[in-house]
Chains A and B, each alone.
Chain A
Amino acid sequence: MEELFEDIEKLASVEKRVAMATLVATRGTSPKREGAKMWVGEEGRILGSVTIGGCVDARVIAESEKALSSSQPRLLEMRLGDEDAWEIGFSCAGELDVLIEPIEISNGQVIDLYRRVRASVDQGKCAVLVTPLKDSTSKLLVLENGEISGTLGSNDLDREAHTTALELLRKRTSSTVNLGGEPVFFEVHGPPRTLIVFGAGHVSMPLISLAHDLGLKTILVDGRPRFATRERFPDADELLIGIPSEIAQTLAYTSSTFVVLTAHDYKYDLPVLKVVLPARPAYVGLLGSKRRGHAIKEFLRESGMDESLFDQLHVPTGLDIGGDTAAEIALSILAEAVAIKSGRPAAFLKDRK
C-alpha cells in the first residue's frame, strides 16, 4: 500500500496527467489481487503492474495511452485462453477486468481523494474508495469511522455502498460488487501489516526475520536489553526496551496488526494481554501449551476481563505442521496469523473445493 502512495508522489513531481489502471476483478487464479495498480504517464513513465508483466500489462499500457488521448476512462475486459494465461502467470484460463482512468496527477480530485486515504492510513485507520465501473468520475470515500465524502449519485446508492464498504474494510479485501444492478469497485486501503512480538527469546528471532521477509513491519518488545539487541534482531523495524505492558499501551493495534507473545512467562503475558486483547488486533498468539492457556484465561477472568475477548487468543499459537525448530515454529505462527487475517481455514490447497 505504501508503494501506491510513493508512486503517486513520484509521478506528481514529473507528470501532469497519468492513466491509472486498476485491476478491479479477476476470475480464475491471478498473480495479483484486486486493487493492483499500474500508472502510465503522459510523458511515458510506467510504474506498478496489474499482473506479473507480459502481454496483459502491454495491452494495459496501450489502452492507457488511448485513455489519455481521449480523456475518457475505459474498462478493459480480458478473457484469457490457456496459452495466454500461462504466459502471464495465470495457472489456468481466466478473466480479468482493468479500469483505466485518465487523471490529473498534481492536484486533481482523484489525487486529492488518495491523499485523504493516505492521511487515514497514516493514522492507522482503513479507508475505502468506491468507484462505479460504468461512471468512474463519481467516487465515494468511506473512512473506518464511518465518515463519508463524495457521492455515487443517489442517497440510496451511497447508503448501500457505505454498508458494503464497511464490510469489505473489516475483511481488508478490495472487490467489485453489484450495487443497484451496476458493478462498483471497492478499493480498500489500510495501514501496513505489522507484527508486534513481546519477548526476545529464540523463537522471536526467526519470527521477526520471517515477518520482515513477508513485508510486515516488525516491532520487538522486551524488558531485557541483553536479549533485545540489534545483533539478535537485525530485521526488526523497532526494538523497544522497557516495561512491556507500559510499552503495549503506547502501540497502535489495527485490523492489520498481529501480536505474538513468546516470553512464556506469566509476568509478561498477563499484563500485556490485558492491554492487547481489548484492542482487538487481527491476531493474538501466545506461545505455550493448552494447559497454560487455560490457566492464563483463568487469571484474566479473575482480573475481570470480558470472556468474549478470549476467542481471539490463539494458544497454543501456530498451525499443526509438526514444527520443532524455532524457525518452523515461527513459520507455523505466521501461517496461522495470515490465515486468520484472510479468513481462510489454513487447510491443504489440494482439498479446496
Chain B
Amino acid sequence: MPALYSDILLDHFRHPRNYGDLTAPDITYENVNPLCGDRIRIEIRVNDSIVEEARFKGDGCAISLAAASLLTELIRGIPIDELSNFSNDRLITALESEIKPARIACALLPLEALRAGLKAYTSR
C-alpha cells in the first residue's frame, strides 16, 4: 500500500519543478476544477515535433500541484504525436501515493489541461 502522500509527491509540492511561464508557448491551456477551485495552466514549447520545454502555473492542492510539476518533467522530450498516449495511470503511478477516488480529479487536472491544449494544437 503506497503512502497517502509519498516523498515524491511532497517533494514536488514543496519544490515544484518548471513553475512559471514560457515566452510564446506553442501549447497553452488552463484547466479548473469548478468546485474546489484548483486551477492549473500548462505551457509547452514544441521543437521538431518534440516537447522541448514544459512549464506550469497555478494555485491548487498538494496533489494537483505535485502532479503538474511531475508531469512537466515526464513529458519533456516526448514526440508530440505520442503525447496523447500519456495515460492517467502513468501519472498516478509516478506520484507513488494512494490517491483516493475523490482526489483522482486533483491528480488528473494538469493532464486534462495538457490533453485539451494538445487537441487545440493538433487541430489548428
Contact = CB atoms under 8 A, between A and B. Distances in A.
Interface string B78-101: 000000000000000000000000
A107 B45 CA distance: 55
Nearest to A246: B57
Interface string A239-250: 000111110000
A243 B41 contact: yes
Contacts of A224: 32, 34-35, 37
Interface stretch (B3-11, B58-66, B69-77, B116-124): B58-66
A265 B30 CA distance: 20
A227 B37 CA distance: 9
A97 to B, nearest CB: 52
A265 B37 CA distance: 10
A223 B39 CA distance: 6
B61 to A, nearest CB: 5
B52 interface: no
A30 to B, nearest CB: 46
Interface in A219-254: 222-227, 242-246
B56 to A, nearest CB: 10
Interface in A268-306: 268, 271-272
Nearest to B60: A267
B13 to A, nearest CB: 10
A227 to B, nearest CB: 8
Nearest to A198: B59
A263 interface: yes
A225 B34 contact: yes
Contact of A267 (B34, B35, B61): B61
B57 to A, nearest CB: 6
Contacts of A268: 37, 59
B38 interface: yes
Given A243-B39, A263-B37, A223 B57 contact: no
A176 to B, nearest CB: 48
A271 B34 contact: no
B71 to A, nearest CB: 17
Nearest to A200: B37
Contact of A245 (B30, B34, B35, B59): B59
A242 B39 contact: yes
A67 B87 CA distance: 82
A226 B34 contact: yes
A242 B30 CA distance: 9
Contacts of A246: 57, 59
Given A222-B37, A225-B34, A272-B59, 11 more contacts: A223-B38, A223-B59, A224-B35, A227-B37, A242-B39, A243-B30, A243-B39, A243-B41, A267-B37, A267-B61, A268-B59
**4 nearest CB pairs, A to B:** A223-B39, A223-B37, A224-B37, A226-B34
Interface of B: 30, 32, 34-35, 37-39, 41, 57-61, 65
6 contacts: A223-B38, A226-B34, A244-B59, A263-B37, A268-B59, A271-B59
